[in-house]
Amino acid sequence: MANTTLTAAKAAKKDEFYTQLADIERELVHYKEHFRGKTVLCNCDDPRVSNFFKYFTLKFNDLGLKRVIATCYKSQDVDLFSMNASEQAVYQIYDGDKDGNNMPDASEIEVRPLKGDGDFRSAECIELLKQADIVVTNPPFSLFREYVAQLIKYDKKFVIVGHQNAITYKEIFPLIRDNKLWLGYGFKGGAGHFYSKYEDVATAGDHREGMIRVSGVTWFTNLDIEKKHEELILYKHYTPEEYPTYDNYEAINVNKTSDIPCDYDGVMGVPITFLDKYNPDQFEIIDINPHFYTIVECGLQKPKQLSLKNVGMKDPYARILIRKRK
Ligand SMILES: C[S@@+](CC[C@H](N)C(=O)[O-])C[C@H]1O[C@@H](n2cnc3c(N)ncnc32)[C@H](O)[C@@H]1O
């Protein structure tokens, strides 16, 4: 495989890669209206290296923020990229410019010690979470399920980076189906370059020194964004030849999101990338590759796939089953 995939990073529990300021800006420009008067928490972010903390302190006035808090996680692993001079896990607070130079100076950023290691699940970090209105970060991918579950439990708004594979997790898919979580605008070309010490296996043309290319990364959010209300224009017409039905599920197969027929009212199996265009007023999500996520999670059997054998077609890998709303 040409690119380092997040799956690979996840498998190896490689959680140390850092988001670029430009990628944060490109996404968050669409959420500006949500931040006025709000407390933002970046809870997987060493404030001394995190571009999330940097972004919110620099944009503090522009966004009209109330407070920015960032907590850092001190792992026992001394070899981590995030290792810095201090052994102490800390959190930092910024309440805005005080000296009139409109810059977040070091003297205006309050550094406070944490008792524990800064794990987002610890009681003291949960206390900080409770103070926050919106959580924005790139959390450790190996803990993505737990991370999202905690945000939902504490009823927090969030904009976070994750891998599109997470869509199929049994803990995540129902949130998407029930309109409690959706995809943000995403990374350019569906891949991100992150600062990291891990070896990059991107092709030469895509290699950037000191970075890894991670394909399939995206943004997950529960903040309302314009994109979610845009109607997908449907122009193709249904024919049984072009849209065969599955052998084992009552639905037609659609190979490309742009090919969704405008005149079919039944259930349709569409690629996972459909979620990039998903407008819950236009479509209803019913299921994902019938129980695909459950079986994958159990890890005992091969995922049950939708079958198109009767028409001699390859089985589609993963399909989201949707229906047009009337
Ligand atoms: C993918 S990195 C992203 C770092 C930073 N948010 C950014 O985007 O630049 C995930 C970070 O979460 C930290 N981390 C790992 N386990 C954690 C935990 N249990 N609680 C808090 N942070 C954790 C890692 O040390 C790592 O720095």
CATH number (domain holding residue 162): 3.40.50
Segment 169-188 shows an average pLDDT of 94
Residue 152 and residue 34 share a domain: yes
Tell me, using a 6 A CB cutoff, whether residue 16 lines ligand 1: yes
Residue 270 and residue 212 share a domain: no
Q: Are 217 and 6 in contact (CB under 8 A)?
A: yes
Q: Is residue 119 part of a domain?
A: yes
Whose CA is closest to 72, among 52, 96, 97? 52
Segment 106-112 shows an average pLDDT of 93
Looking at residue 182, its pLDDT comes to 98
Segment 282-309 shows an average pLDDT of 65
Q: Which of 88-92, 98-102, 168-172, 198-202 has the lowest mean pLDDT?
A: 198-202
Residue 197 and residue 51 share a domain: yes
Number of domains in the chain: 2
The residue with tokens 């890890």 is: 299
| pLDDT higher than threshold 80 for residue 185 | yes
What tens digit of pLDDT does each residue of 67-95 get? 999 999 876 444 444 544 456 788 999 99
* Angle subtended at Cα 42 by Cα 35 and Cα 92, rounded to the nearest 5 degrees: 105
What range defines the domain where residue 97 resides?
6-227
Which atom in ligand 1 lies closest to the alpha carbon of residue 120? 20
Residue 187 and residue 59 share a domain: yes
What tens digit of pLDDT does each residue of 234-289 get? 999 999 999 988 877 889 999 999 999 999 999 999 999 999 999 999 999 998 87
**Distance from C-alpha of 224 to C-alpha of 251, rounded to nearest angstrom:** 30
Domain's final residue, options 192, 227, 262: 227
Looking at residue 183, its pLDDT comes to 98
Residue 269 and residue 127 share a domain: no
| pLDDT higher than threshold 60 for residue 308 | yes
| pLDDT higher than threshold 80 for residue 314 | no
Residue 160 and residue 26 share a domain: yes
Tell me what the pLDDT averaged over the chain comes to: 86
Q: Is residue 235 part of a domain?
A: yes
Q: Are 295 and 301 in contact (CB under 8 A)?
A: yes
Tell me, using a 6 A CB cutoff, whether residue 15 lines ligand 1: yes
Q: Which of 21-30, 46-55, 232-241, 300-309 has the lowest mean pLDDT?
A: 300-309
Tell me, using a 6 A CB cutoff, whether residue 196 lines ligand 1: no
Residue 116 and residue 219 share a domain: yes
Show the tokens assigned to 157.
């708004």
Q: Which of 130-139, 235-244, 246-255, 312-321 has the lowest mean pLDDT?
A: 312-321
Q: Give the residue with greater pLDDT, 25 vs 319.
A: 25
Q: Are 206 and 190 in contact (CB under 8 A)?
A: no
Residue 222 and residue 75 share a domain: yes
Measured in degrees and rounded to the nearest 5, phi and psi for residue 139 equal -80, 170
Domain's final residue, options 166, 194, 227: 227
Looking at residue 290, its pLDDT comes to 56
Q: Is residue 1 part of a domain?
A: no
Domain's final residue, options 227, 262, 290: 227
Distance 211 CA to ligand 1 centre (A): 16
Of the segments 123-127, 139-143, 311-315, which one has the largest average pLDDT value?
123-127
Distance 22 CA to ligand 1 centre (A): 19
Residue 246 and residue 148 share a domain: no
Q: Is residue 245 part of a domain?
A: yes
Residue 219 and residue 203 share a domain: yes
Tell me, using a 6 A CB cutoff, whether residue 140 lines ligand 1: yes
Distance 82 CA to ligand 1 centre (A): 9
Residue 234 and residue 222 share a domain: no
Which atom in ligand 1 lies closest to the alpha carbon of residue 15? 1
Residue 297 and residue 200 share a domain: no
**Distance from C-alpha of 320 to C-alpha of 111, rounded to nearest angstrom:** 46
